[in-house]
Structures are given as structure tokens and as C-alpha cells.
Amino acid sequence: MDLKIQTKNLDFYYGEVQALRRVTLEVKEHQITALIGPSGCGKTTFLRTLNRMNDIIPRSRLEGEVLLDGQNIYDNGVDVVEVRKRVGMVFQQPNPFPKSIYENVAFGSKMLGMNHSAVLDEVVEKSLRQAALWDEVKDDLKRSALMLSGGQQQRLCIARVLAVEPEVILMDEPCSALDPAATLKIEELMQELKKEYTIVIVTHNMQQAARVSDLTGFFLLGELVEYGTTGELFSRPRDRRTEDYITGRFG
């Protein structure tokens, strides 16, 4: 299995507060990597370092390396816009723009200067199909995205990411605002998507991590305590703290 992303001794600070400590982790291509841990453990912070979304936080600081296909995305001269096109992100709260369904999906392509409507139509349809939303919305793509249900909105956000053809998709607790049925749909979708994309998902829900992921990392107090295949980590955790967490002794 090829390496897609590799972090080396990653430290991250919000002002004086250290949120990540020497995190070294490898994300494999076409696998789903789940990051679990209690609130405030740094898993979301870590996720956001992978496409430089933390850049926009004032007075934050990062040390160490994040290699995407071997290239450090924090090197001078690396175009952050390019990084974010290759590493897309789905957020905790569905956050469609207050625009039509069509405009939401076409957004990324338009930002790239694509204005040919036939091509855009194709991108929109393909992305919505991939996100398993096409059949539900195809009759009225001009409808405002805000009229959709929460689960549909989240799949729309996934379609919006797919439309810019990223290589990696980061998901920050994508189901925490959704009901079980909508959650199931997203989980099924992830299994489809991993054939073409590499997925990293932060989740609060250990069952979800166990269900969907191939590899799991357990974060605690900014450290990556344990990282391995999901089966191993949940059945035979090596670290006492991991065991305590997955058996529900704290969390």
C-alpha cells in the first residue's frame, strides 16, 4: 500500500498552548484512516494541518513536516491553494453556501476559471452521482442548497469537494450533526469513495471508526498514543490508555 501523507514530528501551538506533540503518522492511499480520542485531544487540529486550514488561525504555529506524496506542504514556495485542491475537506456542520445546489457543486470548478456550461453540467452531475445525491436532487438543481435536509446537505458538501477532484478527503466528524439513517448513507458512501480517494476521518464515535476505517489512530492530550489497523487497535490495543478509552473507562 502506497504512502499518501506522512507527518513527521508535528508540533502545533495555539499561541502558547501546545495542541499537538511530535505527531508522526502515515496515511495510506485508498484506505480510510480514522482518528479517535476525547474532546480536545488534538485530532481535529491534526486533521486541519493536513490541508493547511490552520493557517488562517491567528498566532498559531507549526513545527515538523507534513509530506504529501513526499513533498512537504509547509515548504516555502508551496502554493496553499494548490494543496487545498489536492486535499479537500468536509466539515462537522454541513456548510453549503447560500446558493443553489448547482452553484454549490460548480463552485470549485468556477474558482479554477471553468465557465463552459456543458462541462460544468457534467462535473455537477458526476459529482452528485458520486456523492449518492443525484437521484434526490436532479429534478431541481436550481433549488437553494439550504432547503435540503442535514444529511443531504452533508452529501452536497461531499459532492462539492469531489467536483474539484482531490486526491485526499479530510472529514471532520461529518456525521455528528446527522441522524442514524443519514449517517449510514455517508458511511456507505465512504466505502465507495475509498476506491478512488484517500480518506482521513475524525470521529467521536468509536463504533463508527470500527465500522468504516482500515486504520485507526488514538489521540490523547495532543499525542498520537497508538496507531495501527482498526482490527488490531480495537481488539488488542497495545497501550493501556487506548484500552481504557475504547472500553469506555474515560472519554
DSSP calls for 193-212: HTTTSEEEEE-S-HHHHHHH
Interface with other proteins, residue 102, by CB under 8 A: yes
User: Of 218, 215, 159, which Cα lies nearest the Cα of 32?
Assistant: 215
Give the separation between CA 34 and CA 221, rounded to whole angstroms: 17
Measured in whole angstroms, the distance separating CA 5 from the mean position of its chain's CA atoms is: 13
Interface with other proteins, residue 126, by CB under 8 A: no
Q: Which residues contact 179 (CB under 8 A, 6 or more apart)?
A: 150, 151
Q: What are phi and psi of 137, to 5 degrees?
A: -120, -5
Interface with other proteins, residue 128, by CB under 8 A: no
Select 9 or 95, whichever has its Cβ closest to other proteins: 95
Give the separation between CA 8 and CA 237, rounded to whole angstroms: 23
Work out which of 85, 129, 204, 211 binds other proteins, going by CB under 8 A: 85
Q: Rounded to the nearest 5 degrees, what angle is found at the Cα of 165, between the Cα atoms of 160 and 69?
A: 130
CB under 8 A: which stretch of 17-25, 83-91, 209-217, 228-236 binds other proteins?
83-91
CB under 8 A: which stretch of 11-19, 99-107, 114-122, 201-209 binds other proteins?
99-107
Select 163 or 246, whichever has its Cβ closest to other proteins: 163
Near other proteins in 131-190, by CB under 8 A: 142, 144, 157, 160-161, 164
Work out which of 91, 132, 221, 243 binds other proteins, going by CB under 8 A: 91
Interface with other proteins, residue 89, by CB under 8 A: yes
Binding site for other proteins (CB under 8 A): 51, 53, 56, 58, 81-82, 84-85, 88-89, 91, 93, 95-100, 102-103, 107-108, 110-112, 142, 144, 157, 160-161, 164
